[in-house]
Chain A
Amino acid sequence: MSEMLRVENLKTYFDTRKGLVKAVDGISFSINKGEILGIVGESGAGKSITGFSLINLIDSPGEIVDGSILFNDRELTQLSEDELSKIRGGDISMIFQDPQMSLNPVITIGKQLIETVTYHNSETSKQDAHKKAVEMLELVGMPAPEKRMASYPHQLSGGMKQRVVIAMALINSPKLLIADEPTTALDVTIQAQILFLMKKLTKEFGSSLVLITHDIAVVAQMCDKIAVMYAGRIVEYGSNKDILYNPKHPYTKGLIQCLPKLNEEKKRLYQIPGVMPSLLHLPEGCYFSDRCPFADEECKVYPETITLEGRLVSCHKVKQIS
């Protein structure tokens, strides 16, 4: 399989009044064509900023300070705003967290879909764009798509809105889709439908998908590869099976332990003690050390990333733990 996206040592920093926030601090990963990569982590781990960085949509005071994003042999960090806006919504598109918010409330969904098509393909006629929009709505499972074209976002339910958002993201057949917690705002039954739909469509379109989520169960169902993020860095990165069935990093272990299991009776679910440190006051050495049950003197130095049993992991204690 050919490599579509390669991110190397990406650093996105926010120079705030309180100090430098290293929201994304030197992460590397790659995605092949048609592959689904899951980025998991707690709130504030830098997942969303990673997603926004991929299309360089970082608002001031944030800035990509270092690293490279190689997309189909093009260096995205070097592109001008004009060139970037051609790629956004064309080759790379993004789905936002809250479908209620990401559609324009005063424009019909049909018009918004058509706009997305004609904006990137100026030679497409209104009729063709309309036809494509209806087809797309049908593809995402919108009942009576022709009729729905004239609907305003507030006339649709949350799940339907997210379907529209997905249709909008996929309408220009992007090569890469970034989904930032696409199902967080939806209830569980709709969540499953939407995820299934996204998986099906990305396979159909041959698109790659970066799925950003805090829900490790979602990742387990969907992804080929998993990157676990903690405080702006990737702590473990490898294939779905390796990470889920044989986690090496104590943080990944903790995350998986948090999940309820059907075959075990428990009064209380496991919880990783403590909270993620503020990015302004990171602990010395390994960022996870103050919550890690295995931490000792050795962890006062940030661990090297090592290759172990087919995955990358950053921890001093991996050998001892396994």
Chain B
Amino acid sequence: MKFFENEIVSEFFEDKLAVAGVFIFIFFMFCALFPAVLSPQNPYDLEQLFLENSFKAPFGEFLLGSDEQGRDILSAIMYGLRISLYVGIASTILSVLIGLIAGLISGYFGGIVDTIIMRIADIQLSFPAILVALIIMALWGQGVTKIVIAITIVNWVYYARTARGVVLSEKEKDYAQSAKALGMNSVSIMFKEILPNIMAPIIVIATVRIANAIILEATLSFLGLGVPITEPSLGSLISNGYQVLFSGYWWGSVFPGIVLMLLVISINLIGDRLRDVMNPRLKR
């Protein structure tokens, strides 16, 4: 297969931990994409919920137990994964796009544009990410799209800074100069010549920061400022279970927590391995 002939791809799969990460991630992706196929019940269809099933212990009738409304935790986790992954991936794609363009312009043109963009980034980085997101969500109110935008606003800075740094060194290289000598204009040089050369570090950071975005979303939802109660994510499930955690009904918080942890670990494993194979300096 052509895909596996690629040097980076085949090297990636040499690491067992990374392969495990990929499998866990693909499994979660599958659950998130087709929750209706896999889950025992639709946790948001009230006709399928029966109050006599409330607070059933796990490993019985309900594999991972049920909550106070008789909702199957396993099904809720599958639907919750969908929201968590959607928020994580969508916000990462958006912030990569914005960060890349800002970083390219900043690094390539320099001067006053660079100063303005980078000072905005500096100001934003001087606040904790969670605080910035909290303020935005408090102003806007709940909503999946809103949280995606809030996380994008928090995260674009990292890509912009990285992109700018690499552009600064890349634009001095001869190929950029010779593209100029071949008559290319600034926009073409930026996007056709330099952009492909700065993708490696961006891809690595983006992977790791997907996990970060998912955690940020979970935190916001746990604090009640994230997704609305009608579209619960892993974070709001944990929050929901937390209310009854000390009444002995531990499964409502613990299982979504474990899934969140596994998801973040799998993404980080992939990210770490990507960093190793994409950085030629770490190669033996």
Contacts and interface: CB of A to CB of B under 8 A. Distances in A.
Contacts of B262: none
Contact of B178 (A86, A87, A96, A119): A96
B197 interface: yes
Given A105-B175, A106-B196, A57 B183 contact: no
Contacts of B197: 104-106
28 contacts: A57-B177, A57-B180, A85-B180, A85-B183, A85-B184, A85-B185, A86-B183, A88-B181, A89-B183, A90-B183, A93-B181, A93-B182, A94-B181, A96-B174, A96-B177, A97-B174, A101-B173, A102-B174, A103-B175, A103-B178, A104-B175, A104-B193, A104-B196, A105-B175, A107-B196, A115-B192, A119-B184, A120-B183
Nearest to B110: A60
A102 B183 contact: no
A57 B173 CA distance: 14
A93 B184 CA distance: 12
Nearest to B175: A104
A168 interface: yes
B188 interface: yes
Interface in B158-179: 173-175, 177-179
A98 interface: yes
Given A102-B177, A168-B182, 6 more contacts: A84-B183, A88-B180, A94-B181, A96-B177, A116-B182, A119-B183
A133 interface: no
Interface of B: 173-175, 177-185, 188, 192-193, 196-197, 199
Interface string A150-185: 000000000000000100110000000000000000
Contacts of A94: 178, 181
Residue picked from B175, B184, B185, B188, most chain A C-beta under 10 Å: B175
B1 to A, nearest CB: 18
Given A104-B193, A107-B196, A98 B182 contact: no
A55 interface: yes
Contacts of B192: 115
A88 B175 contact: no
Nearest to A91: B183
A57 B175 contact: no
Nearest to A171: B182
Contacts, number: 62
Contact of A57 (B181, B185, B188, B199): B181
Interface in A69-101: 82, 84-90, 93-94, 96-98, 101
Nearest to A51: B181
A101 B182 contact: no
Report, as a range, how many residues of chain A touch the other chain.
20 to 34
Contacts of A87: 183
B190 to A, nearest CB: 13
A68 to B, nearest CB: 21
Contacts of A168: 182
Given A104-B193, A104-B196, A88 B173 contact: no
A89 B174 contact: no
Interface string A5-30: 00000000000000000000000000
B184 to A, nearest CB: 6
A88 B178 contact: no
A103 B177 CA distance: 10
A184 to B, nearest CB: 13
A179 to B, nearest CB: 11
A119 B180 contact: no
A120 B188 CA distance: 12
Nearest to A104: B175
A108 B196 CA distance: 12
A97 to B, nearest CB: 8
B196 A88 contact: no
A102 to B, nearest CB: 4
Contacts of B179: 104
A104 B188 CA distance: 13
6 tightest CB-CB pairs across the interface, nearest first? A89-B182, A89-B183, A101-B174, A88-B183, A102-B178, A94-B181
Given A104-B193, A115-B192, A88 B174 contact: no
A56 B166 CA distance: 26
Contacts of B173: 101
A85 B179 CA distance: 10
A165 B179 CA distance: 11
Contacts of A84: 183
A93 B179 CA distance: 10
A101 B169 CA distance: 13
B169 to A, nearest CB: 13
A107 B196 CA distance: 8
A58 to B, nearest CB: 11
A196 B118 CA distance: 50
A102 B185 contact: no
Contacts of A115: 192
A143 B188 CA distance: 30
B196 A55 contact: no
Contacts of B188: 119
Nearest to A107: B196
Nearest to A86: B183
A96 B181 CA distance: 9
Nearest to A178: B181
A168 B193 CA distance: 15
Nearest to B176: A104
A107 to B, nearest CB: 6
A98 B180 contact: no
Contacts of B193: 104, 107
